[in-house]
Structure 1
């Protein structure tokens, strides 16, 4: 006879299976995937622990479990990722937004205030999560998101439409600012590729599904910072701000890249909740 699986039994089995596959967030991932299949909140699983699963639900869930066991991220499986209290569509054409990148957005909101009618240029926008979050929390702001990948821009455009922000954002296919018409912005922001060659060789299995060009920053991880420091200066208003996310241990080097041009002043460096220097804020000097 075919076994009848209850929600509780299925969660237990999946958790053990994921642990065997080396997945650290085994229980959480099992719950998120099962809740998605059932179209319920996770709390529902615990109040319906003995509820049996039907064959169709089991089939869909089984396929998701296989994908996760192959170390495809939950975000990629579901096609969405929560960021700054919103859901963003993601796929393999864009970097999945990381929780630490929320600090980049929060730093800008703190510095600019939420009432400012500022203009923002987001370099390497990917899914659009950063600039769209800024615009969502700053209702008078507007801006442009640029990316070298047309596939990434298609995802960003979809997210902008879903959040009803299309009228306040322009999407531009561009290698840094090469495709951006001459203009100046109050803010330039970027979460650029900053992984080193050594980092790329030690990637977690899930990260290997992200586009390499959104991860690899050259041998020392600083290639894009060097280009942005030189190429973006004329796009930033005098006394405007440039905010960048950085990798662990890169703060001093990135500060040197920008300040040695003589065009930027270092305002402050912000640590994430793990105590890692994660965001650097500069201002244009002249």
Structure 2
């Protein structure tokens, strides 16, 4: 009888240790995700041409300090304030919680607190000064199961390539923001988002836009259109996009490990997502 009791006690202790170990691992993962870095998946074309649907990113949590939005899986109740808060720079790509739905969004910081933002015929101005725009050659991107994504904003730009295979051809405009951040945007021509403002960014808020200017539900778009409805509170920023870890073309099957490798896009892994910065741009 004593032997059976000892065996049962050992089993209980074993189960208890297993549960404790699992809890520690979960807390460790949550802590890393919330305070250091986490992976992020791009599901749409709103940040093309820099980011493609199917890209996997590393998002760092510490550059701007921590707020309720830093906690992964949207577990934290909303509260005001930010620990060790530091404003992003114009041009940074940030992940944020939508201020109403709490869904994850990824956009680029365009306006800082106090800035006046205006868009006329697709041309951006900050504080009354037009942002430098340089038209680039058309960009051709191979079409695959992820590109263009299912939102349809770029489908009409799919054309046959030189080898007969479909490619996505998009017009590129390179912008240089005050402070020197330089990056490429897509400008498809006239759209509902081409005229906006003037709009003054409130204190402790940021004005965010997608690089695919005609296909991004960002600060220009109203809440009812799944946009951000203006500038978002700084507290809603969860982290900064740093690097592409890997990218897939949408053909991978979960039950076929070989397809995981076949679906990898070459040349995407390791892409730095911090914008180039020119000196003496005000």
Q: TM over 0.5: same fold?
A: no
State the structure with more CA Rg: 2
Higher strand share: 2
Give the TM-score, by structure 2 length: 0.26
Give the TM-score, by structure 1 length: 0.26
Higher helix share: 1
